[in-house]
Amino acid sequence: MNAGIERISFYTSRYALDLKTLAEARGVEWDKYRVGIGQEIMAVPPPDEDIVTMAASAAKPILDECGTEGINLVLFATESSIDQSKSAGLFVHGLLGLPARCRVVELKQACYSATLALRMAALAVNANPGSKALVLAADVARYEIGSAAEPTQGCGAVAMLVSTNPAILALDDASGLHAEDVMDFWRPNYRDEAVVEGKASTRVYLHTLQHAWQHYKEQTGRALTDFARCCYHSPFTNMAVKAHKTLLKADAVAGDEAGHLQRQVDESLRYNRIVGNTYTASLYICLASLLDHATEPLDGQPVSLFSYGSGCMGEFFSGRIASGYRDVLYTSRHRAQLADRTLLEVQQYEDIFNLTIPRDGWDYTFSQYRTGPFRLAGISAHKRRYERAD
Ligand code: HMG
């Protein structure tokens, strides 16, 4: 039995920064961001939004439609953890009224862990047909102001309902894996911003991709051209372009490179280009973008996915898009939230970035910004207080 994704929904902040204004402020040519990196807008989280509010907001449309019955596993993937002990999943479990007879845990391995969550969820529902799992991935990508990585920030969350009724994507069994101990990007516990060896990290990504692809090919005998579409972890959209070019070259695929990119990759990058890096959620926002933007029907078509998490862990895997998938998408909701964002001035973005929340754990109340259905109201006695925003 093939398990997979029954529903997919994503959420991002109501605030964003047009990178054209950032380029002007930093004295950088706009084309470096727009063409060289492939990013146009980045999502900026207001102070009362975090991984919990974003993940709960991503999951709510799914639960409003499908209910909570049968969900006995919640896996929360993130590298923007808000607590060293308690899983962010339990806050979401409370906000969404999920069943008490449920396993809830948080997973970490840079941007990769949502993929492990998805694979584990698929195994769990296959072992217990009728059960369902909720996979959540949420992150805030933060680098230092003025750094080369600054335009590759962003924030967002994805929620996926996983079951043996994969109305969107049935997962194949094969997985190409590559793990290696390398310091390309990391965030020590005492830092709020990641440390990154930027250009080296792009090389490690491509090296990992090639190893994972080779492992996948050994299991399946498939060629890159067998896939109707290819989705890649996208810290910035040109990374996915570099990734696809690398595999086209490795497989000596004949024909026009630009044509292959346009057909197999472009549709998956539309959302990431205007949201930015969302770490664990990035690959799955690519999948949502592909499903929402595909100009020809993809029913029954094979797609590939490459998940990369610095440090590093890569997995190349695949699935088949279900017949009738367009009937169960949240396309108009996704588009409406992106169209209804408040664009910040650079100074406002910097003020939000530099806002330091007291770390003594005592009473703090957040000003109310625009958020989704949930917000972080404050902190009291070391406890984060969440509330409905509407
Ligand atoms: P940079 O210093 O801006 O790099 O850093 P650059 O000067 O080489 O410019 C970037 C590109 O813009 C180049 O193209 C330039 O030629 C081009 P490329 O050679 O790459 O094809 N360019 C222009 N194009 C058109 N018009 C112009 C122009 N000027 C220059 N006028 C870097 C870029 C991505 C390194 C930086 O933003 C960074 O450090 N980002 C963060 C790290 C990152 O995203 N790494 C990706 C791989 S690691 C990963 O994916 C994992 C991650 O998601 C974390 C996790 O796993 O948790 C990050």
Q: Which token pair is 12?
A: 């991002």
Task: Tell me if the bond preceding 312 is cis, omega within 30° of 0.
Answer: yes
Q: Is the CB of 111 under 6 A from ligand 1?
A: yes
* pLDDT band at 268; cut points 50, 70, 90: very high
- Kindly state the average pLDDT of the residues 275-290: 98
How confident is the model at residue 1, as a pLDDT?
A: 59
Residue 120: left if φ>0, alpha if ψ -120 to 50, beta else—which one?
Answer: alpha
How confident is the model at residue 255, as a pLDDT?
A: 87
Q: What element of type H or E holds 95?
A: helix 88-96
The 3-state DSSP class for residue 379 equals strand
How confident is the model at residue 226, as a pLDDT?
A: 97
Q: Is the CB of 147 under 6 A from ligand 1?
A: no
* pLDDT band at 361; cut points 50, 70, 90: confident
Residue 358 has pLDDT above 90, yes or no: no
Q: Is the CB of 101 under 6 A from ligand 1?
A: no
How confident is the model at residue 102, as a pLDDT?
A: 98
Matching residue, tokens 């490459």: 306
Active site residues: 79, 111, 233
How confident is the model at residue 342, as a pLDDT?
A: 98
Q: Which token pair is 47?
A: 């102070």
How confident is the model at residue 222, as a pLDDT?
A: 97
Q: Is the CB of 310 under 6 A from ligand 1?
A: yes
| Distance (Å) from CA 43 to ligand 1 centroid | 18
Please report the atom of ligand 1 found closest to the CA of residue 29.
31
Nearest residue (CA) to ligand 1, atom 50: 235
Nearest residue (CA) to ligand 1, atom 41: 149
Nearest residue (CA) to ligand 1, atom 58: 235
Residue 16 has pLDDT above 90, yes or no: yes
Residue 385 has pLDDT above 70, yes or no: yes
| Distance (Å) from CA 133 to ligand 1 centroid | 36
- Please tell me whether the overall predicted TM-score, pTM, comes out greater than 0.95 for this model: yes
Express each pLDDT in 304-357 by its tens digit.
Answer: 999 999 999 999 999 999 999 999 999 999 999 999 999 999 999 999 999 988
| Distance (Å) from CA 202 to ligand 1 centroid | 8
Answer whether 51's CB lies under 8 Å from 77's CB. no
CA separation for the pair 10, 292 (Å, rounded): 12
- Kindly state the average pLDDT of the residues 354-365: 85
* pLDDT band at 94; cut points 50, 70, 90: very high
- Kindly state the average pLDDT of the residues 29-55: 98
Q: Which of 33, 139, 310, 313 to mutate to test the pocket of ligand 1 (most atoms within 8 A of CB)?
A: 310
Express each pLDDT in 118-139 by its tens digit.
Answer: 999 999 999 998 999 999 999 9
Q: Which of 112, 178, 185, 205 to mutate to test the pocket of ligand 1 (most atoms within 8 A of CB)?
A: 185
Mean residue pLDDT of the chain comes to 97
How confident is the model at residue 2, as a pLDDT?
A: 86
How confident is the model at residue 282, as a pLDDT?
A: 98
Q: Is the CB of 235 under 6 A from ligand 1?
A: yes
| Distance (Å) from CA 236 to ligand 1 centroid | 8
3-state secondary structure 209-276: HHHHHHHHHHHHCCCHHHCCEEEECCCCHHHHHHHHHHHHHHCCCCCCHHHHHHHHCHHHHHHHHHHE
* Percent of the chain with pLDDT strictly greater than 90: 97
CA separation for the pair 77, 82 (Å, rounded): 12
| Distance (Å) from CA 380 to ligand 1 centroid | 40
How confident is the model at residue 17, as a pLDDT?
A: 98
Q: Which of 32, 178, 306 to mutate to test the pocket of ligand 1 (most atoms within 8 A of CB)?
A: 32
* Percent of the chain with pLDDT strictly greater than 70: 100
Nearest residue (CA) to ligand 1, atom 34: 198
